[in-house]
Structure formats: structure tokens, C-alpha cells
Amino acid sequence: MSSPHVSVISLLMPEQEKRVVFLTARVHPGESPASFICQGVIDFLVSQHPVARVLRDHVVFKIVPMLNPDGVYLGNYRCSLMGFDLNRHWQDPSPWAHPTLHAVKQLIVQMNQDPKVSLEFYIDVHAHSTMMNGFMYGNVFEEEERVHRQAVFPRLLCHNAPDFSFSSTSFNRDVVKAGTGRRFMGGLLDDTSYCYTLEVSFYSYMAAGSSAPVPYTEETYMKLGRNVARTFLDYYRLNNLIDENKPTSLSNSSLDGQSYRQGSGRNTDGEKGDRRIHGNKEDF
């Protein structure tokens, strides 16, 4: 990484596996909920929870938790120290004016050109000032199969996270969003990669069957991050690798009463896992 401003957290799996999930957050400095979601992802992935162990063994997670550190330091809402909305400069970032974007873009291009690496997800985490719940933005493609495949991950996340709304998730090619990370990466990476913006409300969510909105807290933001991480277990159909007898060190990371749903993603051996995980009536 050429820029001193970018901190990349890399959770490595065995050398023979190079399936990569790349997450970025806080490109807009005022969207502080994105940091709590990112914290939830990181804390869970580095824990000793059996789900986290399996994920680390089979997936490489590369995480840039803060793309706009100078804007955060200054208390800016949307722009960097130089006055740029960094999420409109992914197409041609300057190493001088947009050093974090330039460094991350170089890293992603390098990985994308490596035949030993399969960069399968890019997720940029944001916060939304007018909508409730968590939801995603995705890209629009001509191939119907790719359109359906892109919807798999947010559908699985909807089953794992009570505050995530698939009905609010949308797929678009708005010209105004052309310079965003999600749009740029969607054009750069091949058709085996999925690029999303993960949004979460600044204020509240409405759970299914609820008649009143529930205010978000730091803990519920981090819980959404944990649920994002665990959804990759479903997506890659790694449920059958979980050892249910292993103790966990996370007091707040027991599983809820529902069985994990099997995703429609890829498995390491091409077979569908049949073990379900059960636990207390509490989410990750």
C-alpha cells in the first residue's frame, strides 16, 4: 500500500485458498454508524467463535475501516480535508488529492489481475439519513442470471438480520452514482464478483411484525456487522463445517433460535451442507 493513511486489516486463510471479500467504510466521514458496523464485522471475525474460525479458514477478508480519516478528524460530514466527496472519485483517484482511494484501487486492481485470487465481493459501508433499517444498493446488468445471483447475498442477510430490509434494497445505474465505489468496482471486476453499498439508518429500524420503530444503538449497529459476517457462512454453504461442541468466547454472539438457512452460493466441495446451527434467542 503506497498511502500511509490506509489501514488494511487482512484475515488470511490457508495459502491454497484465495477467495477474497473486500470491505471498506467511512468514505463519508459523518456516517459514523458505518464504523460500528465495521467494528462488529472485525470483532466477530477475529473471535474464537466457531463460525468465525470456519470463515477465516475459507475466506480472505480485507477490510479498510476508514477511507476518509482526515475528514473524520475534522468533523466533516461528507468531504475530505481537500473538500472532495471521495465517493465520486473512484474512476480516476489522484495519489495526492485522494490518497486512500488511490491506494485501495491499486490494491484491488492488483488482486483482480492475480490468477490465484478470486475477488468475489466488494462491500462499501455507509449510513443513510432518511430511510430506516439496513439495506443494500447493487448494480444493474443485462444478463438475467447475473441479476439473480447478485440478489442472493442480500436475501440471505435479510434472513439473518432482523433489521435488514430486502424490500428497501435496490439495483440501479444512476448516472450521479457513477464515481462511487460500488459502481466503479462493478465495472472493473468480472461477472463472478458482486459489488454493493451497504446502508444503515442513522436513527432506527422496523423489524418484521413490529408496529413501532426501534432506535439503533452502537450495539445493534455492531450486531448488524456480525450478521453481515455470518451471512458469508450461508452464502458459501460452510454450515456443515461447524463444530457445535466448541465453546465460544463471545458472551453476546450466541445464535438465535432459527436454523441457519442454506444459501445458494458456492461450496468448497460443491455439496450442500446439511448441519444446522441452533442456539439461544439472541442474535450474534
Strand partners for 118:
19
Q: Do residues 273 and 248 lie in contact, with contact meaning Cβ atoms separated by under 8 Å?
A: no
Own/partner contacts of 106-111, CB < 8 Å, gap of 24 or more, are 106/1, 106/2, 107/1, 107/8, 107/62, 108/22, 108/185, 108/188, 109/188, 111/20, 111/22
Nearest of 70, 60, 140, 149 to residue 107 by alpha carbon: 60
Residue 282: active-site member:
no
3-state secondary structure of 55: helix
Kindly name the residue from 143, 145, 199, 282 that is annotated as catalytic.
199
d(CA 284, CA 282): 7
Which residue carries 439508518 as its cell? Answer: 201
Q: Please give the torsion angle defined by the CA atoms of residues 52, 160, 40 and 197, in that order, rounded to the nearest 10 degrees.
A: 110
Residue type, 36: F
Annotated catalytic sites, by residue?
199
